[in-house]
Amino acid sequence: MAWIAGADGFKSRWCVVLQDLDTGELRVRIVPTFAGLLDLAERPSVVAVDIPIGLPEVTLAGGRACDAAARRLLGRRGASVFSAVGRIALAGANRAGADALNRAHGGIGVGAQAWGLADKLRQADAAMTPERQDTVREVHPELSFWAMNGRTPMADGKKSAAGALARTDALAASGFPEAFVRRAPCATPRIGPDDFLDACAALWSARRIAAGSAERLPAAEDRDGRGLDQAIWF
């Protein structure tokens, strides 16, 4: 068996979609922690995850090079790419504290949406090493859908009915069984449809990584202070 996985965070957990590249079998799972993504029973050779991997010490205007590059490509969907909260701000006890820490070190303010990822960022940063990046890669679902959609941003937001339908159609056109992408969330009611579709998009990028055909932003390595490569793959 040759498993790969795509993961998208929701609330305090992760929606994981796995595929066996030999048989095509698909599975959906809820995983409680980032560490759990590294200990999946299927032992996937690629885990594509929607979370920043590799962090600045301080968040500056525009964020990491990969964040800025993704926004340029995504155009009207660029607002979905948050600048990763840096390590200094992650030491804050709450958003106000993080905001003050980042500003005190020459950075920008820390917004509520970016701070909403703080716990997952801490988990990922604690678990990741440069060696683990051979298996675990950062992706962004909107960038995956951009690539699927003829390198064009999706017209509608993912939480709208039109946006959900367009993303479902894009996944079906990219080789996902139509019955799976249209019905699987009904079998796992704790996962929102948009989170499920985002995890499928992450799996689509994992396929490309496994096949050696994936692209990355930026093109050149961009190592952080711990040696992690700051790159978004698609």
User: Of the candidates 188, 135, 138, which has an alpha carbon nearest to the alpha carbon of residue 4?
Assistant: 135
In degrees, to the nearest 5, what angle opens at C-alpha 153 toward C-alphas 149 and 158? Answer: 95
Strand duo 46-49 + 232-233: pairing: unpaired
Residues 109 and 53: their CA atoms lie apart, in Å, by: 20
Q: What pLDDT is recorded for position 189?
A: 61
Q: What pLDDT, on the 0 to 100 scale, is given for residue 214?
A: 98
The whole-number pLDDT of residue 188 equals 64
Peptide bond preceding 218 in cis form (omega within 30 of 0) = yes
Q: How high is the pLDDT of residue 184?
A: 61
pLDDT of residue 187: 53
Q: What is the mean pLDDT of each run of 10 residues along the chain (234 residues)?
A: 94 95 96 96 98 97 97 95 95 96 96 93 97 98 98 95 96 96 69 93 98 98 98 98
* Residues 6+ positions from 21 with CB-CB distance below 8 Å: 2, 3, 4, 207, 210
Whole-prediction pTM: 0.94
For the chain, give the percent of residues with pLDDT over 90.
Answer: 93
CA–CA separation, 202 vs 63, rounded Å?
Answer: 21
Domain boundaries, the chain: 3-52+136-211
pLDDT at site 38: 96
What is the CATH number assigned to the segment(s) 3-52+136-211? 3.30.420
Q: What is the DSSP letter of 139?
A: B
- pLDDT of 178 reads 92
Helix axes 178-187, 161-173, angle to 10 degrees: 130
